[in-house]
Structure 1
């Protein structure tokens, strides 16, 4: 009798979690929990839930993602982004389970113009980035089997993100000023979810080629290509046929409570070399996202 693999998924109502509920379903029984079912700010509740579920795989896309608000709520951001992943990792180690966790380009300070590699020096500029880095290190310290996927500029057809904000504002205002000196890769949440499922289908297979050489660690996972927030907005406008005038501005003209890195480019070569996976160009992903949303 074959035992069904149990996958515990956090953040089920978030934009990445929503897609993962679908892409992971072919790999096992997905137990999808939202913040009402498991509050990541409550470490004891997180531990109790994992022990009750006893999953084979834990996938954690849930996070405190309000970058500016984190500057005034550092304790809450730390509880969700740093403490909770550490608890999940401790329980994964106890169960012999695999933990999949998502992190961010904001662990880097954004200097230079070269895409960041996984072993680049981390030096976050804001509380959000610092708490996400602390979460990475808490996971690594447990010694559990883990995959940490750093990504950037995530968007989708649901939730709260740059795409949806721009589509709304372009209809409400005749002119928008958009930051043009921060460079990164807009990443469609569906592509993230599908790539995650492809990786898991390799590492969790009964006769995995990784049995002898474990692929655990940090990987960068973004759509291919690069642009600025202004360039992203222009691309959205092209597909959306909205009439607002989009003016490029430097970050200094749009002060925010949290500093943002100017260079958010991530090098995805390790993902390609290890798993043979490359996410599509961000232009193509955006077109597919908007096409899917229009149906």
Structure 2
């Protein structure tokens, strides 16, 4: 991964996104991968279900769109991308391979069956036990990444996948940022921490804030600061509205800490949040 990113950083500027558009489609072959069908797309890239013709397995093939090339020249970013590529945890999607062809860079990832949390949250709020289960899984993924020095920076329902068998996987750990994908001030509006709106340094507590918003939305059915596309409510001193959860009374206090405007007042990292959520799951709200 580090060698690939170094090559991309030195390569002349080209419109990789437009180059991919003429190639992608069912039946196309890129290297040893045959594309079968499109399964998702976004600002970071387009994802296809594909078949690895050498190993005979189904994979997710993600064609990377062009990003901010200057970002690839940061040594710290390259080191973090290399660490992200080595992450191995049951709650983080597995990266099998990375490569580059004449049309641009691509990633080959574990193929998941199910739906994103964003798809699941289109209806009623989740049961408290289910919200705690998903939140705990995401927290354990963050704990593993934070221990390796990797910060997600863009945790949102679109980057959390709930598999058909109930497993929870976090997507795009550090890779969107590594490939030069510069989001508005660094994250997804609604899930961005105050320091991201200010353009201040980000660390593990930025992910803690985003996870707090995630759990809040799963339980309450709404964001703590809805319709805050410009970040004014998030950046203001006003705290997030208190959340009272009858079947998990301590959850409201934990979320208040996770959504603290000052990072110093939040839990330090994913490991601290995972321990707190696991403790809550042992109470009455635990899912059978």
Structure 2 length-normalised TM: 0.29
Larger RCO (CA within 8 A; separation ≥ 6): 1
Structure 1 length-normalised TM: 0.28
